[in-house]
Amino acid sequence: ADRGGTPGDLTGKRIVISAGGTREPLDPVRFLGNRSSGKQGVALAEAAAARGADVVLVAANLEVPAPANVDVRLVSSAADLERAMTEAAAEADVIIMAAAVADYRPSEVRAEKIKKEDTGDTLVLTLVRNPDILAGLAAARKPGQIVIGFAAETEADPGLLLELGREKAARKGCDYLVLNRVGWTEGFASERNEVRVLNRHGDIVIEVSGSKMSVAERILDLLS
């Protein structure tokens, strides 16, 4: 009942969406991860396909099933996700980076399990920065290609949250940034979402709260 959108208004548009959370391998049995469920990205993919778009879903460790009628490309680490997005972006009219990408990865991936007896009472890991995939895709975009990013912030004060979103919108160079507050209970596993969408100048173009599907529909309205 809370679905918006016009059936078929995205027909012919090729939309590439990343969803989920990356996992950065540490050794053959362990990874560093995050709490993204993939629900908002999957809702975007489902809604876009229902409106007639050709959808590629680059799926990183989803906790929910991928929708039917989309081309799913499974990835795990940030490096995998970057490769899959770069390949799919070559044929995309729209790129949406809803995935939670690890900012850092372990500096080395051990060939063998890390053993306590070799490590002792504390274990110090060295992490190195991952490339900013969204900023790279935005910088490399073809004429007419639309790039949409997400911003996950824990800031509770609405004014400061908006400031962080504006700074991030300016830094990323994307056309729109979906600003999302996340926390121990908000955001990830939730069925609902509350977002503001900023344009590249930091102006609020959408304010919506509701199911992740209704949020998806409003975001996709920017493309029709």
Q: Provide, rounded to whole angstroms, the least separation between the CB of residue 22 and ligand CTP.
A: 8
Q: How far apart are CA 173 and CA 136, in angstroms?
A: 9
Q: Provide, rounded to whole angstroms, the least separation between the CB of residue 110 and ligand CTP.
A: 22
- Contact flags string 88-107 toward Ca ion, x per CB under 5 A: ---------------x----
The answer to the question of residue 66 lying near ligand CTP (CB under 6 A) is: no
Q: Which of 79, 39, 83, 49 is nearest to 182 (CA)?
A: 39
Calculate the alpha carbon distances from 35 to 24, 30, 88, 101, 219 in Å: 13, 16, 25, 11, 22
Q: How far apart are CA 42 and CA 20, in angstroms?
A: 8
Query: Do 131 and 148 form a contact (C-beta atoms < 8 A)?
Result: no
132 binds, among Ca ion, ligand CTP, none (CB under 5 to 8 A by kind): ligand CTP
The answer to the question of residue 188 lying near ligand CTP (CB under 6 A) is: no
Q: Token digits for 96?
A: 């949406």
Q: Mark whether 34 is an active-site residue.
A: yes
Q: Token digits for 175?
A: 């056309």
Count of residues in contact with ligand CTP, rule CB under 6 A: 14
Point out which span in 31-39, 120-128, 144-152, 205-213 binds ligand CTP (CB under 6 A): 144-152
Q: Provide, rounded to whole angstroms, the least separation between the CB of residue 124 and ligand CTP.
A: 22
Give the number of other CB atoms < 10 A from CB of residue 205: 12
Please, what is the Cα angle at 24 between 167 and 107, to 5 degrees?
Answer: 90
Instruction: Report the residue closest to Ca ion, judged by CB.
Output: 103
How many Cα atoms within 13 Å fall on the side-chain side of residue 170? 8
**Residue 134 assigned as binding residue:** yes
Point out which span in 67-75, 87-95, 127-135, 192-200 binds ligand CTP (CB under 6 A): 127-135
Point out which span in 27-35, 49-57, 150-158, 208-216 binds ligand CTP (CB under 6 A): 150-158
- Contact flags string 98-117 toward ligand CTP, x per CB under 6 A: -x-x-x--------------
Give the number of other CB atoms < 10 A from CB of residue 196: 20
Please give the positions annotated as active site: 34
Q: Which residues bind ligand CTP (CB under 6 A)?
A: 78, 97, 99, 101, 103, 130, 132-134, 149-152, 168
Q: Which residues bind Ca ion (CB under 5 A)?
A: 103
